Structure 1
């Protein structure tokens, strides 16, 4: 319920209905959320680079029985410079659901669902039931957050957004109960162990919030010490354990490459103008931005904006900083990637929900609130359609499908698997390295045909099913182990 209750539920029929059936409507939204998160999750193709890399790191941690050192193709990985928390989440998914794509992405799905629950509960407690329904509905259909690199992927971003959200909401709650600041510190520390230096945005948001609200002056030295311990203790413990394995190399590369290089130069060609993230919001979020502007306009002309600000000033300060500061910080950084702004989607949803709460109660005639609800629901429906269309039309990976569905048996300790992209090619993409490990426990080897023919170890060669491959098999006296319409598995006689 709103902190301010002078705008009574009575007299506004639509609000009465929404409040009365709040729990039914919330369950419907959560059911849609679950569907959006798990629909075709087990067959959605593995994405190259980050998702595949995370998968390989987690799988090999489990196989190596080493939960600190991350490897790629069983060699120390100094490209993926993230601490291990997100890998541990993937490993937990494997243990619960098995070695498949559902197990791989389970922790991301759970983290996103929990994020939406937290948004709904916070909005319910601070703004009201309508705000809770709208905020949850907006989050459930925020396609940018749900699709590539987000809630439906095995990347670190979903658990990072969850911990980011917990950290900032706890900071806002510390205005009313100071002990929440310890939750802020601990969530920050865990977020760092998932996503590394990206969490500096949390430091900036919390620091500015504490200054503006003057909370920074209200904590005693003991509370500050506990807060600092919660914020940096787990990070320090991990760093000391990691140093035992390879000295300061991983930590050094984290600082020099993952922090300084990404900030000061557009690494790997990931560049863009200063307004790049504004363009991302226009592409992925334009209609919710339009709803936001409409709700703000209604609040201004109805003069209800003064009540909204008066009732929830502390929350507005926190939410606005939460949206604006990451946009500024990541816009200043030279390296730009669309998923860097994922953490701003929860506060955007909360702001839209809060304004919807006050806007719906701004009209005396019930027809206008009904029209407003239909606009919000139609916007959510549009994004729901876009999301489902994206999921349905995802291109398949024929090699991944072959590995998942074939009966061929491999063992990385005895089988070395070659897959040239051409007859003399040697390249493996990362998604196929992960698929080979996940579905067949195989080990990818470079070198192509020549290395395959020269090795004394038992090996398998994967080739495209075409005339050139069949000719190669015949010329080199190979035997076909398994095949389908797209792929042939061959071995030496």
Structure 2
């Protein structure tokens, strides 16, 4: 007969995991590397944010201007981000060439660094078992890996790295005042990656410093240095940007990216007050089930006498880290699922700390240990299988493949190219599809031009090109002009004169 309070069998297994910590951590990081880098350059480039960032980074190189982001070689006042994420893409282009791997590489690197940061901090704070669990959870967090973040050329992965470093530095302030300045510097880097999304960091850090009482213990010199560390990197960028186009970029940042995005619904991104709860249920269900069960159980089993000021401050900080972004974006009118991505490192740390605490609690029993372990393994399995299926699926965009093939034809490199593939945005119906615009620039250094058939026909430059869908009625109009079919596949033609 199994005695439920005889925990020696499970205690031995847990002890084995802790003694072999570095081996298990290495195994989990191998999963992380697979999730992040496998097939990274083989999936089609996404229109909107990913393609837009890729265009800006490419054109910064071509313009030899690493401060002003352009789109189709005009100053971009729609994508109103500072340049840090573009610089990361530029570094990727320099390493791997002008392709999708170069576009995405440093997003994946930033995600891997974030996973490592979570592993190290949880090791310091909660011990080896918690570190293994937290690392596994973030590695197998599907929205973080798949959606607009770790495997795409967007700003989010780099932003979340600095977001996480800023809040973790905040958690270390009581050990050394130097961490206060690290909090500020990492905040500044997060701002330089994703602008006003750092309001969450301001709210978290400000609330924590006040509620924990740390703010009132700071000397005037320490507080001033903290403000300088937070503002100076942004101020330096701001001066360089101001010399390029004055106040127009900053004014548009405030009017559109801050005020309109929070007070009105932009670009059709609507949602109810339960929008982000539903997103968690959809993409984080199994981990959420483990987390809620663990936190409730740990709260019930918690010994009142172990709650001290340090533990209270830590719980307060983690709560703010999760609650503030969630509530801020729930309140905002524009709702997009990846806005709450910064909470996933905090959720992983919470889950690791809570489950580890339960498994090693004085009031533990064998049933609880087995049940929790099975829930963890099942959750990791379900999420990891979903991620593997997604990253292993080789989808193809025939039009992007056609443009890539065109880019290998030296006689057409650098030529003007027109397109009947237009943006899906109602605000810009005449603009290029953004992914095809980026492919034209990346693969063939071509110059995308706005216009229709008449504009292409009137183009007097050498060998202009025209990208046309095969199912387009406009194709029939081109028959009369005796144009040359440069390339075609089942989806599109590329014509030249």
Task: Quote the residue 2:375 is aligned against.
Answer: 375
Q: Which moved more, 1:390-399 or 1:435-444?
A: 390-399
Distance 1:412 1:250 in 2: 32
How many angstroms apart in 1 are the aligned matches of 2:36 and 2:225?
A: 37
Question: TM-score by structure 1 length?
Answer: 0.92
The Cα shift of 1:146 comes to 1.2
Shift of 1:223: 1.0
Q: How far is 1:93 from its partner?
A: 0.9
Report the counterpart of residue 410 of structure 2 in structure 1. Answer: 409
Distance 1:73 1:269 in 2: 24
Q: Please tell me whether the aligned partners of residues 201 and 326 of structure 1 are also in contact (alpha carbons under 8 angstroms).
A: yes
Separation in structure 2 between the aligned mates of residue 44 and residue 308 of structure 1, nearest angstrom: 49
- What is the distance in 2 between the residues matched to 1:421 and 1:322? 42
Residue aligned with 1:268, SS: coil
> Aligned residue for 1:457?
461
Change (3 A) 1:332 1:467: closer
Question: Aligned equivalents of 1:421 and 1:184: distance in 2?
Answer: 45
CA apart distance, 1:206: 0.4
Q: What is the distance in 2 between the residues matched to 1:392 and 1:306? A: 50
Unpaired runs of 5+ residues, structure 1, are: 1-7
Deviation sequence 1:127-168 (CA, Å, 0-9, x none): 011110111111011111111211111010100000000000
1:5 equivalent in structure 2: none
C-alpha spacing 1:242/1:355, structure 2 compared with 1 (3 Å): same
Alignment map for 1:270-281 (pairs within 5 Å): 270-281=269-280
CA deviation profile, 1:14-62 (whole Å, cap 9, x unmatched): 2211111111110010000010001211111111111111110111001
Per-residue CA deviation, residues 169-218 of structure 1 (Å, 9 max, x unaligned), is 00110022111010000011111111011101101100111111111012
- Partners of 1:309 and 1:14 lie apart in 2 by 30
2:425 aligned partner: none
Deviations 1:195-245 (A, max 9, x none): 011101101100111111111012111111111111001111111111111
1:256 is aligned to 255
1:147 aligned residue: 146
- In 1, the alpha carbon distance for the partners of 2:265 and 2:152 equals 24
* Corresponding residue number in structure 1 for 2:439: 435
1 CA distance for matches of 2:157 and 2:243? Answer: 29
Compare 432-441 and 475-484 and name the one that shifted more.
Answer: 475-484
Unaligned residue ranges in structure 2 (runs of 5+): 1-6, 423-428
Aligned residue runs from structure 1 range 52-63, under 5 A: 52-63=51-62
Task: Give the distance between the partners of 1:143 and 1:412, measured in 2 at CA.
Answer: 39
* Displacement of 1:404: 2.4
Offset at residue 453 of structure 1 (A): 1.1
Q: Distance in 2 between matches of 1:205 and 1:301?
A: 27
**C-alpha separation between the residues in 1 aligned to 2:57 and 2:79?**
12
In structure 2, how many angstroms separate the alpha carbons of the residues matched to 1:11 and 1:397?
Answer: 50
Q: Structure 1 CA distance, aligned partners of 2:10 and 2:303?
A: 16
Aligned to 2:126: 127
Distance 2:214 2:149 in 1: 33
Match of 1:475 in 2: 480
- CA-to-partner distance for each residue in 1:330-367, whole Å, 9 max, x for gaps? 11111111111111001110000001111111366556
Give yes or no for contact 1:210–1:216 (8 Å, CA) kept in 2. yes
- Relative to structure 1, the CA distance from residue 284 to residue 309 in structure 2 (aligned partners, 3 Å threshold; closer, same or farther) is farther
Give me the whole-angstrom Cα distance separating, in 1, the residues matched to 2:19 and 2:331: 46
Tell me the SS of whatever aligns to 2:271.
coil
CA gap of 1:171–1:417, structure 2 versus 1, over 3 A, is same
Correspondence 1:318 to 2:323:
no
CA RMSD of aligned residues (A): 2.4
Offset of 1:301 from its aligned partner? 4.7
- Cα 1:336–1:439 change in 2 (3 A) is same
The 2-side partners of 1:118 and 1:446 are apart by 45
Aligned to 1:3: none
Say if 2:133 and 2:352, in contact at 8 Å, map to a contact too. yes
Alignment CA distance shift 1:304-1:402 (3 Å): farther
Partner-residue secondary structure (3-state), 2:87: helix
CA shift at 1:391, angstroms? 3.1
Once the two structures are overlaid, the 10-residue window that deviates more, 156-165 or 209-218, is 209-218
Pairing 1:95-110 to 2, within 5 Å after superposition: 95-110=94-109
1:391 aligns with 2:391: yes
Once residues 190 and 384 of structure 1 are traced to their aligned partners in structure 2, the CA distance between those partners, rounded to angstroms, is 31
Query: For 2:492, which of 469, 478, 487 is the aligned residue?
Result: 487
* Counterpart position of 1:209: 208
SS of the residue corresponding to residue 267 of structure 1 reads coil
Query: What do the CA deviations read for 1:93-147 (whole angstroms, capped 9, x no partner)?
Result: 1111211111111111111100000000000000011110111111011111111
Given that residues 120 and 135 in structure 1 are in contact (C-alpha distance below 8 angstroms), is that contact kept between their aligned partners in structure 2?
Answer: yes
1:264–1:333 CA contact under 8 A, matched in 2? yes
The 1:490/1:297 distance shift into structure 2, 3 A limit, reads same
Give the TM-score normalised by the residue count of structure 2: 0.91
For structure 1, which segment, 432-441 or 295-304, has the greater mean C-alpha deviation from structure 2 after superposition?
A: 295-304
Question: Aligned pair in 2 of structure 1 residues 81, 301: CA closer, same or farther (>3 Å)?
Answer: closer
Q: How far has the Cα of 1:13 moved from its partner?
A: 1.0
What SS does the corresponding residue of 1:463 show, helix, strand or coil?
strand
Q: Does the C-alpha gap of structure 1 residues 204 and 153 become closer, same or farther in structure 2, counting only changes over 3 Å?
A: same
Following the alignment from structure 2 to structure 1, what is the Cα–Cα distance between the partners of residues 133 and 409?
49
Structure 2 distance, partners of 1:317, 1:369, is 27
> What does the per-residue CA deviation read over 1:245-278, in whole Å, with 9 as the maximum and x for residues that have no partner?
1110001000111111111111222222222211
SS in 2 for 1:482: strand
For residue 465 of structure 1, report the CA deviation from its aligned partner. 4.8
Q: Give the distance between the partners of 2:376 and 2:307, measured in 1 at CA.
A: 19
Correspondence list, 1:50-199, <5 A = 50-199=49-198
CA contact (8 A) 1:473 1:479 kept: no
